[in-house]
Amino acid sequence: MGFFEQPAWEGRTYLGGWIETGAAADAVSPSSGERLASYAVASAADVETATDLAVSAQRTWAVASPEERAAVMRRAAAVLEANEPALVRWLEDEAGSAPGKAAFEVGLVASELHLAAATALVPYGQLLRSGRPRLSMARHVPVGVVGVISPFNFPAILAMRSVAPALALGNAVVLKPDPRTAVAGGLLLAAVLEEAGLPVGVLSVVPGGADVGAALVEEPRIPVISFTGSTPAGRAIAARGGELLKRVHLELGGNNALAVLEDADVEAAASAGAWGSFLHQGQICMTTGRHLVHESLYDRYVALLTEKAARIPAGPPSTGAPLGPIIDAGQRDKVHSVVSRSVEAGARLTVGGTYDALFYAPTVLADVAPGHASFEEEIFGPVASITPFATTEELVRLVNASPYGLSLGILTGDPYGAFELAARMPTGIVHINDQTVDDEAQAPFGGVGHSGTGVRFGGHEANIEAFTDTQWVTMQAEIATYPF
């Protein structure tokens, strides 16, 4: 059942094999409204079934050799790379991804699988000094079953960056993809791993709505939840997870700042800013939302960014347009509300602010101030809001005025000065002389404040912390003697 063979999963989901659940939904193109395929919709009862399978299969998977688990990850990467066009096409059709973005995402998924293969083989603990004549060690052991709840915007990579390392470290996984991207963010990934030889039951996919996500959080045999999505949803999951004494890893929203300092190359800065704001229609947690520009460069920057936005078309990915559709009408209306409320509050619309169906024109808002919607809220659309600043102190206040803290870009002719400046602005990611959107499998990824609970993704260290428990073990040659 290769993932390029649609009949294998048409009307089904992956739950101990390809099954029907008694309920189905259509995968729909946001570009055309066309029905692409159908998939089986899961229920709370299916979450229980998936957990039953996971608990049983994980016992065997956990004691498989690290080499065996690594080999499955490597084979999955090879299957994916050999059939890249199929997943690219689904990312275009189902997620509204432009061709370049879709191909980039597939490459990231393959990188996560390769990294996971390496993670399976890294040292799994350390020897500790002890005041007694014994061997003392700390070792990392699998948590058991991991629940993954993933979003629609980069559906394949934002699922696989939790699924792959969790599996590689000996866990089973129950994955709930966003129902708007259930195929690209769930079924195709399961099919890839199945073809790579992952044992049945170690991974299940339960597409569905909030009720399925809630069942995943409530399931007592799932001790770790890895969630990527909105800050309000993350708060609710964290609150319930805390009551249940679960570990909840949250990668949430952002309203990321790009600081353009007085000595920056303004033409290069505007190009970087356009990429940061408009890539994938701004539907990225790392999107550049707030452009904070020194007053000496401000007018020129506004003019340049406006010109660039005016030349970027939005249209169906099949046409090669660099911007695709917003995922659905509800999200489009949220974007338009932010733009409208900002203009009503005094922001100046220089280009865009219009839409055709789900295609929202690249939009630039100038003279944005704290209190305006586009300054305060995560937009998740192709909107760049620009605010001037006069002094470094004012810049620091503006950056820190946001409760979000995911990614920060600083553009300058003095990178070492920017490095020192960044220490005054709490954030999970800093890019000096680059915009705010970037990701590499081996790099730590996570935000602070309203953007999440810190680094839980990227690299061996973060993945081991996220998906294992630390256990202290001692061993000595003879039974210890005591005075009792």
Q: Which residues are catalytic, by number?
A: 251, 285
Give the pairing of strands 407-411 and 35-40: unpaired
3-state SS, residue 162: helix
- In 73-134, DSSP assigns E strands to 125-128
Burial class (CB in 10 A: 0-12, 13-18, 19+), 27: buried
Q: Assign residue 184 a region (left: φ > 0; alpha: ψ between -120 and 50; beta: otherwise).
A: alpha
Nearest C-alpha neighbor of 195 from the set 54, 19, 2, 61: 2
Please say whether the beta carbons of 270 and 422 come within 8 A.
no
Beta strands in 167-232 (DSSP E): 172-176, 203-205, 224-228
Beta partners for 40? 24
Q: Give which of 431, 435, 425 is closest to 443, Cα–Cα.
A: 431
3-state secondary structure 441-463: CCCCECCEECCECCCCECHHHHH
DSSP 105: H
Tell me the CA distances in angstroms from 375 to 193, 365, 384, one per residue in order.
42, 10, 10
Length of the chain: 484
Task: For the chain, give percent helix, strand, coil, nearest 5.
Answer: 40, 20, 35
Task: Give the single-character DSSP code of 445.
Answer: B
DSSP 8-state symbol, 80: H
DSSP-H helix ranges across 120-209: 155-168, 188-195
Distance CA 32, CA 367 (A): 35
Place of tokens 């963010």: 185
Give ∠ CA 459-464-465 in degrees, rounded to 5. Answer: 105
CB 74, CB 113: distance < 8 Å: yes
Local structure of residue 186 (DSSP, 8 states): I
Q: At how many degrees (to 10) do helices 84-95 and 99-119 cross?
A: 120
